[in-house]
Structure 1
Amino acid sequence: MRRKLNCQNKKIGIMGGTFDPIHIGHLVMAQEALEFKNLDRIIFIPAGFPPHKNKEITSGQKRLEMVNLAIKGNEKFIVLDYEVKKETKSYSMETIEYIKEIYEDFGIYFIMGEDSFMNIEKWYKYEEFLSEVTVLVARRSFDKLTALREKIKKINLHGYFVEEIPTAFLDISSTNIRRKFNLKKNPRYYLPEKVYDYILKEGLYV
């Protein structure tokens, strides 16, 4: 039986994603969400077999190691290998159910980027998912800000809870970082130093 943590009025943030690789934008988003809602901790959960990713991704173990390197030294950030260890596809609704069994009575805040939120209707059991968490959305660009805020308003009118994280625009993507490595360009300043060194050591994205 999994151990339950009963800490009423505490709040945790869930930061899911492929993290292939984890980059500065992810960490800024997590820290801004932490401070915005005064969260007690952020749990990073690298995806195992994400249903929305069709192309081959780096092994779960390597992505897990990169996340561990990225958050090392921050006592508010922890990593969970739940999805990486799963042998089936990773659905956020199932992960939230797992988290709620462990962190009983915690308020759960799910942190996501603008792109993911704008396609939330495509998520598995998205309405059930939205009913279980408060969603914190990180804006990505000024050009799409109006559309983002309209979408947040629309979702909230259905009785859910979505808020925009008041953070700076950081248009950094793992896809672009992988592309730069592949083209022999240097994306080192998009990444925590230890993650950058790990990528070079393991020969990833070449």
Structure 2
Amino acid sequence: MNIAIFGGSFDPPHTGHELIVQKALEILDIDKLLVVTTYLSPFKESFCAPAPMRQRWLAKMFEGMEKVEIFSYECDQKRQVPTIETVLHVKHLYKNAKIYLIVGSDSFTALPKWNRYDELCSHVEFVVAPRGAFHPPEDLKILPINVNISSSKLRSFLDRRFIPKSIENEVMAFYTRNPMDSRIERIVTALSDKKAEEIQVFDMTGKDYFVNTVVIATTMGERHGLSLLDHLKTELKGAGESFLNVDADDNWTVIDMGDILIHLMTPAYRQKYNLELFLKEREDEMKKVRGVE
């Protein structure tokens, strides 16, 4: 089996990524192309869009492309994962597979800085997608394209021409969204308007948690949580917010907005599970790890 791996931050995905995948499928003799979203790059401290949201965008972009798989290994680890680790994991899953590793020309020139670079070279054949001026070695596989857009530039100068149509509205809404304080204020106001009680907001930024902010509110009864959910959808979707996943229940409803998690709980469930204590303990654990205490 021949497998290509194409990894990146995809923060956000753009038409250049789309073209790279299309050309790789045309040029390379492969059975599968794994698109790997990094949870956190070794060369960055954070991303703008949370990992589940970036993976969801990619899934929509490449929907219907039979050989393309959104490979969640790195995001599942919830930590920085060096490329060599991902490659070895793929080789464990697909015994004796030939692995192509697709990288941009800027990444290719920086390869010697990568974790266990020599070992990586022994396991993969590199395929380069040029961007700008690039003078490759003669024996290097090159995709016949030149991608002159980067995710960082796209975040700074949002241009719809470079955002795939399938995710255009979601991407534009996310990167032009209101600052976090305004978003939280809108959520709290919407909950208060519909009689939610004991609303608490927990800032989890930098605490090794999978979202930046957690909102917990107490409902007045079993059906009230579902009513609050409907009201939040009405109030927030018009403001460009995305509901990535909703687990709705009479006693406990969880709303995943990518970087914000909302818990709507009956009084009995809130007392029983005591999420506030868990989140406070998480904060204390991270303080100890960082030597703050």
What range is the shorter-chain TM-score in?
A: 0.7 to 0.9
- 1:171: which partner in 2? 148
Please give the TM-score of this superposition, normalised by the length of structure 1: 0.80
Query: Are 1:137 and 2:131 counterparts?
Result: no
TM-superposed deviation, 1:205: 4.8
Secondary structure at the residue paired with 1:13?
strand
Contact 2:15 2:162 in 1 (8 A): yes
Letter of the 2:142 counterpart: E
- 1:195: which partner in 2? 167
5+ long unaligned stretches in structure 1: 1-9, 157-161, 182-186
TM-superposed deviation, 1:55: 4.4
- 1:6: which partner in 2? none
CA spacing shift, 1:14–1:194, aligned 2, 3 Å = same
- 1:5: which partner in 2? none
TM-superposed deviation, 1:89: 1.0
Contact 1:139 1:169 in 2 (8 A): yes
Contact 2:3 2:31 in 1 (8 A): yes
The runs of 4+ residues in structure 1 deviating greater than 6 Å are none
Indicate which of 64, 67, 77 corresponds to 1:76: 67
TM-superposed deviation, 1:200: 3.4
Indicate which of 41, 50, 63 corresponds to 2:32: 41
Query: Are 1:28 and 2:19 counterparts?
Result: yes
TM-superposed deviation, 1:145: 2.5
**Aligned positions, number:** 177
Contact 2:7 2:37 in 1 (8 A): yes
TM-superposed deviation, 1:41: 1.9
TM-superposed deviation, 1:54: 3.0
- What does residue range 120-131 of structure 1 map to in structure 2 within 5 Å? 120-131=111-122
Contact 1:34 1:40 in 2 (8 A): no
Aligned Cα root-mean-square deviation (Å)? 1.6
- 1:19: which partner in 2? 10
Contact 1:43 1:78 in 2 (8 A): yes
> What is the alpha-carbon distance in structure 2 between the residues aligned to residue 54 and residue 115 of structure 1?
19
Indicate which of 86, 99, 109 corresponds to 1:108: 99
Please give the TM-score of this superposition, normalised by the length of structure 2: 0.57
- Structure (1 or 2) with the larger CA radius of gyration: 2
> What is the alpha-carbon distance in structure 2 between the residues aligned to residue 193 and residue 17 of structure 1?
20
The structure with the largest strand share of the pair is: 2
The one of the two structures with greater contact order (alpha-carbon pairs below 8 A, sep at least 6) is 1
- 2:265: which partner in 1? none
Percent of residue pairs identical: 28
> What is the alpha-carbon distance in structure 2 between the residues aligned to residue 86 and residue 76 of structure 1?
24
- 1:91: which partner in 2? 82
